[in-house]
Amino acid sequence: MFGFEISKKDRRTNARAGVLKTPHGEVETPSYVVVGTNGAVRCLGSEDIPKTKTQIIIANTYHLWRGLGDKLESFPGLHKFMGWNGAIMTDSGGFQVFSLGFGREHGMGKFFPKETPSLAKQKNLVKITNDGAHFNDDYGESYLDAETSIKIQEKLGADIIVAFDEPTSPIHDYKYTKESLERTHAWALRSLKAQTRKDQWLYGVVQGGAFKDLREESAKFIGSQPFHGFAIGGSYGESMGAPREQMLSVIKWSVARLPEEKPRHLLGIGKIEDVFDAVELGMDTFDCVIPTREARHGGLWTKFGRFDIKKGFWRGSFMKIQGDCKCPVCENLGVTRGELREMFKTRHPNAARYATIHNVFFFNDLLEDIRRSIKEGRFLEFRREFLRNSNRGIMGP
């Protein structure tokens, strides 16, 4: 039912290709995990998802829990709810411990304020104790701890679930990060003890901020526990104002002390160069809102770079989003940049849908090419060629 096999290792890097077997199908790795926060990939119908080469989706435990309320008890499971028979992950709700608390207080989300200037400093909605987290947000008052998180995730029925944790940020000091890490480790043990379903894999989370000794301590501790796989959290790098090198260091410190035979997931990372870095350093899966969130706002990704389809420059353009793209929007429908711009301008209901189909397909297709390059022993060459082309500019064919 479950399993993870490494089929090929790159001889010059830590990159590896493998297969993650789940009750709902196999996931070839490295793989992009598409975000479906509330049990749906925004702007896509269930019939659209198979057209995007998506192998696995991640849903948000906290928002589903609070949104479903009493309906959670009779919830049919994410697969039936989504009309999706592929693999599904759920996070633990731990990110909301950070984002609705310290993150709001300091104007930090998944992306640093300079990238999202509308994210102003707001009231902290979370009180953290060693037992768990008390929330007082738009849903009202609630309490989440390791046992509750696991119970919710078991009700949601994902194939892969995640231990409850507390992420920190680049501006947390050593003292707080160490205290937080001790909580995360205690919550990890409680998560293991709370799990009752045998048809779900449970991942432990490595934390420790940007501090080498804490990251190594966390990876060693979490790696020694009987988790089925591991997630690296809090490696936000540039997305939260930290130097890019910090993200790379966090991954290196963590991977070096995790069991090689088990799968590794990178939480919340997904820009193209970050993907290449993560794969090179030995990560197997990673999730990010970039493909879907940017699509809704007109941000289109191609192998020649990213562009904003809403710009006046694309008015009347006969160029496809990407000339040689095999996604349904480019190849089957032949939608041009000019047509898609007009759809966004007139708020056509298919505008964000077409953009999302293209973006999700693009990232999944890129990962397919990365897997192939690892198997053929040319990962570094493919990386170099792809990144060189991506800097050529958006007027590529």
The residue type found at 328 is P
Helix (H) or strand (E) holding 293: helix 290-296
145, 274, 287, 365: the catalytic one is 287
Q: Which of 288, 313, 333 is the last residue of a domain?
A: 288
92: which 2 tokens? 């633990």
Say yes or no: 244 and 358 in one domain: no
Q: Would you say 206 and 238 are in contact if contact means Cβ atoms under 8 Å apart? A: no
**pLDDT tens readout for residues 6-49:** 999 999 999 999 999 999 999 999 999 999 999 999 999 999 99
Do 151 and 259 lie in one domain? The reply is yes
- Token pair of 72 as six digits: 């959670």
Which residue is it, tokens 């992009």? 32
33 neighbors 58 (Cβ within 8 angstroms): yes
On whether residue 396 sits in a domain, the answer given is: no
Same domain for 146 and 174, yes or no, is: yes
Q: At what angle do helices 146-156 and 61-68 cross, to 10 degrees?
A: 80
Distance CA 355, CA 348 (A): 12
Q: Are residues 304 and 240 in the same domain?
A: no
**366 assigned to some structural domain:** yes
- Number of neighbouring beta carbons within 10 Å of residue 102: 21
User: Are residue 245 and residue 137 in the same domain, yes or no?
Assistant: yes
Q: What is the pLDDT of residue 394?
A: 59
Any long-range contacts for 133-136 (C-beta under 8 Å, 24+ apart)?
133/97, 133/101, 133/166, 135/96, 135/100
Contact 233, 220 (CB under 8 A): no
User: What 3-state DSSP class applies to 16?
Assistant: strand
Q: How far is CA 104 from CA 77, 126, 136, 140, 141, in A?
A: 31, 10, 13, 17, 17
Does residue 397 form part of some domain?
no
DSSP H/E element including 330: none
Whether residue 23 contacts residue 39, with contact meaning beta carbons closer than 8 Å, is answered with no
395: in domain: no
Walk along the chain (397 residues) in steps of 10 and give the mean pLDDT of each run: 96 98 98 96 96 98 96 97 97 92 74 45 91 92 97 98 93 94 98 97 96 97 98 68 80 97 94 95 96 97 95 95 96 97 97 98 98 98 95 61
Give pLDDT, residue 139.
86
Residues 174 and 28 in one domain: yes
| Residue among 369, 280, 332, 333 nearest 53 (CA) | 369
Average pLDDT of the residues of the chain: 92
| Residue 9 β-bridge partners | 16
Residue 235 amino acid letter: S
Same domain (yes/no): 277, 305: no
CATH number for the domain that contains residue 40: 3.20.20.105
pLDDT of residue 14: 98
Provide the 3-class DSSP secondary structure of residue 14: coil
Considering 10, 91, 145, 365, which one is annotated as catalytic?
91
Which contiguous run of DSSP H or E holds residue 193? Answer: helix 174-194
Residue 121: what pLDDT? 79
* Domain end marker among 239, 264, 288: 288
Residues 314 and 338 in one domain: yes
Report the distance separating Cα 367 and Cα 272, nearest Å: 10
If asked whether residues 314 and 276 sit together in one domain, one would say no
Cα-Cα-Cα-Cα torsion 373, 49, 362, 235, nearest 10 degrees, comes to -80
- Is residue 135 a contact partner of residue 207, using CB atoms and an 8 Å limit? no
Catalytic-residue membership of 138: no
- Please give the residue range of the domain that contains residue 382: 296-390
**Shared-domain flag, residues 93 and 9:** yes
Please tell me the predicted confidence (pLDDT) of residue 61.
97
Report if residue 280 sits inside a domain.
yes
Evaluated on CA atoms 137, 143, 145, 147, the torsion sign reads: negative
228 and 85 in one domain? yes
189 inside domain: yes
Residue 270 CA, distance from chain mean position: 7
Q: Do 276 and 306 belong to one domain?
A: no
Q: Of 288, 313, 331, which residue is a domain's last?
A: 288
The residues facing 126 across adjacent strands are 135
How many domains is the chain partitioned into structurally? Answer: 2
91 is catalytic: yes
User: CB-hemisphere CA count at 13 Å for 116?
Assistant: 18
